[in-house]
Amino acid sequence: MDRVGLIGYGHMGSMLVNGFLTSGILSTDELVVATKSLESRNACAAAWPGVGIARTNAELARQCRTIIIAVRPQEMATVLNEILPVMDGDEHIVSLAAGISLKDLESVFPGSLTRAIPTITSTVGQGTTLVCHGRQVDINSALRVEGLFSSLGNVVLVSEEELPAAMLLSSCGPGLLAVIIDELAGATARASGLPKDRAIGLTMEMVAATAAYLRETGRRPGEMIEEVATGGGVTEAGVRKLRERLPGVFDETIISMLERCNTVGAWSGRRTDF
């Protein structure tokens, strides 16, 4: 049986297990999970009876042809060090790690490699997984992996050059937007006395409705601003303030994140000696 192995059962790993199994794209006996902490191994076993739980990453690698690695980038070399010696070479490795390039991965595993960048919003069936296949991935393996991630929501194929920018928006973006929701609600609560929880509730509904409006009408953001900001009115005063300050803040934000993309894997010097 062509089993799927998942290494790491944190935010992404647990979301993938939930998505693969509840969508029915995999049955419990087609999935094997390995993770470092005993606590999350037990949590996985309790939540998903029937899923294979491997005691080590090597044990998982011996049983699976598709191996999804959902550990932090800093742990990637350790995991590869454990699994590569027991692999045949015809497996398909899928890395979720931000900031570790296919070239880096190919330098230690010259076989089938795919980078997949999911998003936490797939927990509720919304959002996009970015997928970028390496040169060695054949069509069947590519479709298999795309099918797995389609069970969580939208899949978009991207080139590796586009991946960091696309990830900033589709995958880091939910974290950035959560900051904006928090700050907007917080400032409103501070200035008005509206309880913060109520302010957050109203802001969340507004954000979801704004996205739906833009999506369904096809309006550009600038057109929507014009519709909302009545000349000489209330919104206009706020839009003017944000237009003064936000471009600089967002330029700094995006530059710092792109810089971090280049260093988060810290691959240099971490090559292993299999």
Ligand X SMILES: NC(=O)C1=CN([C@@H]2O[C@H](COP(=O)(O)OP(=O)(O)OC[C@H]3O[C@@H](n4cnc5c(N)ncnc54)[C@H](O)[C@@H]3O)[C@@H](O)[C@H]2O)C=CC1
Ligand Y SMILES: O=C(O)[C@@H]1CCC=N1
Binding residues for NADPH: 57
The answer to the question of residue 172 lying near ligand Y (CB under 6 A) is: yes
92-95 and 64-69 beta bridge pairing: parallel
- CB closer to ligand X, 64 vs 79: 79
Query: If binding means CB under 6 A, how many residues of this protein chain bind ligand Y?
Result: 4
Give the footprint of ligand Y on residues 79-138 (CB under 6 A). Answer: 98
Whether 128 and 108 have beta carbons less than 8 Å apart is answered as no
Binding partner selected for residue 57 from ligand Y, ligand X, none, CB under the kind-specific 5 to 8 Å limit: ligand X
Separation of alpha carbons 266 and 77, rounded Å: 10
- CB closer to ligand X, 199 vs 261: 261
In the complex, minimum distance from the CB of residue 4 to ligand Y, in angstroms, rounded to a whole number: 21
Contacts from 156-162 at CB under 8 Å and sequence distance 24+?
Answer: 156/128, 156/129, 156/130, 156/131, 157/131, 157/132, 157/133, 158/130, 158/131, 158/132, 159/132, 160/101, 160/102, 160/115, 160/132
Binding residues: 7-12, 35, 57, 70-73
- Look at residues 186, 181, 151, 159 and name the one whose alpha carbon lies nearest to residue 17: 151
In the complex, minimum distance from the CB of residue 101 to ligand Y, in angstroms, rounded to a whole number: 14
Binding partner selected for residue 11 from ligand X, ligand Y, none, CB under the kind-specific 5 to 8 Å limit: ligand X
Query: Binding residues for ligand X, per CB under 6 A?
Result: 7-13, 34-37, 40, 57, 70-73, 75, 78-79, 96-98, 117-120, 171
